[in-house]
Structure 1
Amino acid sequence: MQGSFVFGRSPMFNLPMGGSFKQQYRAFSVSMMPGQERHDVEKGGKIIMPPSALDQLTRLNIVYPMLFRLTNEPVCRTTHCGVLEFVAEEGRLYLPNWMMRNLFLEEGGLIRLESTSLPIATYSKFRPQQVEFLEITDPKAVLENALRSFACLTENDTILIRYNKKGYELSVLEVKPGNAVSIIECDMNVEFAAPVGYKEPTRQPEPEPEEMMNEDVVDGYDAGFMPFSGSGVRLDGRKGKEKQSSKEKNAPTNLASQRIRGIPNYNYKRGKLTFPKAVNRPKVDEKNATAGKDEDEGEASSFQPFSGSGKQLKPRRNPKK
Structure 2
Amino acid sequence: MAPSRAAADGKLFGFNMFADAPRPLNTQYRCYSVSMLPGNERQDVERGGKIIMPPSALDQLSRLHILFPMLFKLTNKRTNRITHCGVLEFVADEGKVYLPYWMMHNLLLEEGDFIQIESISLPVATFSRFQPQSVDFLDITNPKAVLENGLRSFACLTTGDVIAIKYNQRIYELCVLETKPGPAVSIIECDMNVEFAPPVGYKEPERVKKPDEEMVVDPAELMPEPTGFVAFRGEGNRLDGKKRKDQASSSKTDVKVTYQRGVPDYNYKIGTLRFIRNSRPPSKE
TM (norm. structure 1) is 0.62
Q: How does 1:29-40 map to 2 (within 5 A)?
A: 29-40=33-44
Shift of 1:61: 1.1
Q: Which consecutive unaligned segments of at least 5 residues does structure 2 have?
A: 1-19, 216-220, 227-250, 256-281
Tell me, in whole angstroms, the C-alpha distance in 2 between the residues paired with 1:61 and 1:283.
Answer: 98
Candidates 43, 48, 59, aligned match of 1:44:
48
Output aligned runs, 1:200-279, within 5 Å.
200-208=204-212
1:17 and 1:62 in contact (8 A); partners too: no
Tell me which amino acid in the other structure corresponds to 2:192. M
Deviations 1:73-128 (A, max 9, x none): 01100000000000000000100000000000000000000100000001100000
1:62 counterpart residue number: 66
Where has structure 1 moved over 6 Å in runs of 4 or more? 279-284
- Shift of residue 305 of structure 1? 3.5
Please give the alpha-carbon distance, in whole angstroms, between the structure 2 residues aligned to 1:173 and 1:120.
17
Give the distance between the partners of 1:148 and 1:46, measured in 2 at CA.
Answer: 11
Kindly provide the CA deviation profile for residues 300-320 of structure 1, in whole angstroms up to 9, marking residues without a partner as x: xxxx942x3xxxxxxxxxxxx
* Bigger Rg, which one: 1
Which of 92, 95, 109 in structure 2 is aligned with 1:105?
Answer: 109
Gaps of 5+ in 1: 1-15, 212-278, 291-303, 309-321
Identity of aligned residues (%): 64
- State the distance in 1 between where 2:51 and 2:283 align: 107
Distance (whole Å) between structure 1 residues aligned to residue 222 and residue 89 of structure 2:
79
Picking from 136, 140, 148, the partner of 2:140 is: 136
What is the deviation of 1:280?
6.3
Q: Deviations over 1:33-83 (max 9, x none)?
A: 111100000110000000110111111110000000000001100000000
2:174 to 153, 170, 173: 170
CA displacement, residues 234-279 of structure 1 (integer Å, 9 cap, x when unaligned): xxxxxxxxxxxxxxxxxxxxxxxxxxxxxxxxxxxxxxxxxxxxx9
Could you say which residue in structure 2 is the equivalent of 1:93?
A: 97
- Residues 209 and 148 of structure 1: is their aligned pair in 2 closer, same or farther, counting only changes over 3 Å? closer
The answer to whether the 8 Å contact 1:143/1:161 transfers is yes
TM-score by length of 2: 0.69
**Cα separation, 2, equivalents of 1:24 and 1:305:** 115
* Pairs within 5 Å for 1:16-35: 18-35=22-39
Give 1:176 deviation, angstroms.
0.6
> Is 1:123–1:188's contact at 8 Å kept on the other side of the alignment?
yes
